[in-house]
Amino acid sequence: MSKLSELAAEFAELTKVISRSSEEEKAAKSKREKVESQLIEEMADEGCQNYKLVDGPNLYRRTDKFYGPAEGVDKQELIKELAAHPQTMDLVELNFNSNSLRSRMKEIEANGEEIPQELEAKLKVIEKYRIGYRS
């Protein structure tokens, strides 16, 4: 069995364990994060975008983006900028929800639109590689 197969099988098994008890869940999540990092690296090294386990799920690489205030930008300053733009003004009251912001930014990018420069200057974007899971 190749290292990729071993890592993929271990990742899938750890995913099952996570749905059990909370103590096991904490330990499994911690171990799964480590395995996930190794699996992402191994998949990249192998040039593999997804991997189907023989009797299990299909694992695939995905990228999640998270948006928040850029370095040196106060959260209130970003809120003010978000409130000034038609694409994001409905997200803002005195605060904004990070998941809603993330969804809106994904929507803007999916539509082929540009994030306004003055807003983009206030955002910090972090891409985190993850492994998706479906049975």
Domain count across the chain = 2
Domain assignment of residue 85, given as a range: 63-129
Q: Indicate the residue among 12, 34, 56 that finishes a domain.
A: 56
* Residue 22: predicted pLDDT: 75
- Chain-centroid distance of CA 85 in Å reads 25
pLDDT band (50, 70, 90) for residue 11: very high
Could you report the per-residue pLDDT of 48-98, keeping only the tens digit for each?
999 999 988 999 999 999 999 999 999 999 999 999 999 999 998 877 899
In this structure, the answer to whether residues 100 and 44 fall within a common structural domain is no
Buried b / exposed e across 28-45, counting CB within 10 Å, b at 16+? beeebeebbebbbebbee
Percent of residues, the chain, with pLDDT higher than 90: 69
